[in-house]
Amino acid sequence: MTIGVPKEIKIGETRVSLTPNLCRRVIALGGDVLFEKGAGRSAGFTDDEYKAAGATVVASAARVWKESDFILKVKEPQAGEFALMQEGQTLFTYLHLAACPELAKELCRKNILGIAYETVEGADGSFPLLKPMSQVAGRLSIQIGAYRLQSQLGGSGVLLGGIPGSMPGHVVVIGAGNSGAHAVQMAVGMGARVTVLDLDTRKLEALDQEYRGRVVTLMSNPANIASEVADADLLIGAVLIPAARAPIVVSRKVVRQMRPGSVIVDIAIDQGGCVETIRPTSHEEPTYEEHGVIHYAVPNMPALVGRTSTMGLTQATEPFIALMVQKGVERALVEHPGLGRGVNTRGGRITYDAVALALGFEA
């Protein structure tokens, strides 16, 4: 098996899908690695490290795509990469196809075996390849939101932790999954007033116990969302339905009730976002203002900390990559049902029901 690692070209992307250590393991297991020159630089890895690990470093992405039967990436192929994809290739990466209909069509047209990180399951039904990046995004959301609240950036000028004699800022987190829980952790650590809303009472109970009542926990319903969001200095959208489009839980009407200079960070933007007024932004132009509220919706937030994100991601993907190198892709998919559930496209069809439903395709 030849694993190809092209350089990520999504705007602002700094992660790489293969570290030198993981490359060394792939080679030891009998695989070959074709690595695009400079693909690891922004994550702090040099081409010489990959050469020392046994990879063949080449100058062009076109060669990586053409000569590899297995493409390993971080982010979904961009429009400029569609022409490089080879008929029948295997692609292992974050796909988020519910928000990318054109990519879904192209993968089907070229009979790509598309294995999505975000739908690979663990034995307990968890999503182990989504977890580390959700954790990073959750923690970053508070860091980013606190920064965007600064007066010089058009924010309301609220310090999340406040000072003695003044009220701390109010952070509202909708969704208590991995990203939401880590957002709560960071917000509490900064001294903010924190409210979290979710439909799962077990998650709310766990947060209540962890923070000993320091965090306000509420059931997620339209009335509670409307009242809490109107009082929020920083709103974090952290709603996830695996592989499907995120539901809109914050309406435009509710956003209009927020104070001028408040900030929204929608972590769910990879799946379309959970705030009605949200649209994707980029690291080059990360924010826009609507109804007096600052919106931040960069789909690849973890790229802000490329080194940490790369280490977290590759530690999670390594067992699955090793399994496919050892046993071959087809046998690995059969013997590891959780990996098999990562398959989103195969034989020209969308094979993951939630994705097919979101896109209006037949599964």
* Feature table: binding site for substrate: 15, 75
Q: Report the alpha-carbon distance of residue 133 to residue 301 in Å, rounded.
A: 9
Query: Do residues 250 and 226 touch, judged by C-beta distance below 8 A?
Result: no
Which of 25, 51, 53 lies closest to 324, judged by CA?
Answer: 25
CB atoms closer than 10 angstroms to residue 117: 25
Annotated binding site for NAD(+): 134, 198, 203, 220, 239-240, 267-270, 279, 298-301
Q: Report the alpha-carbon distance of residue 312 to residue 145 in Å, rounded.
A: 23
What is the H or E stretch that residue 353 is in? helix 353-359
**What letter would DSSP give residue 168?**
P
Annotated catalytic, 96? yes
Selecting among 32, 233, 266, 270, the annotated active-site residue is 270
Cross-strand pairs, 113: 90
Q: What is the CA radius of gyration of the chain?
A: 21
Annotated binding site: 15, 75, 134, 198, 203, 220, 239-240, 267-270, 279, 298-301
Annotated catalytic, 69? no
For 30, residues 6+ apart whose C-beta sits below 8 A from its C-beta are 1, 325, 326
Q: Report the alpha-carbon distance of residue 13 to residue 345 in Å, rounded.
A: 24
Please tell me whether residue 327 adopts helix, strand or coil conformation.
Answer: helix
CB atoms closer than 10 angstroms to residue 346: 18
Q: Report the alpha-carbon distance of residue 341 to residue 325 in Å, rounded.
A: 18
Query: Do residues 223 and 213 touch, judged by C-beta distance below 8 A?
Result: no
Please tell me whether residue 71 adopts helix, strand or coil conformation.
Answer: strand
End-to-end CA distance of the chain: 29
Selecting among 96, 170, 182, 336, the annotated active-site residue is 96
Q: Report the alpha-carbon distance of residue 218 to residue 196 in Å, rounded.
A: 6
Please, where are the H alpha helices in 163-212?
178-189, 201-210
For 136, residues 6+ apart whose C-beta sits below 8 A from its C-beta are 301, 302, 305, 308, 309, 312
The catalytic residue positions are 96, 270
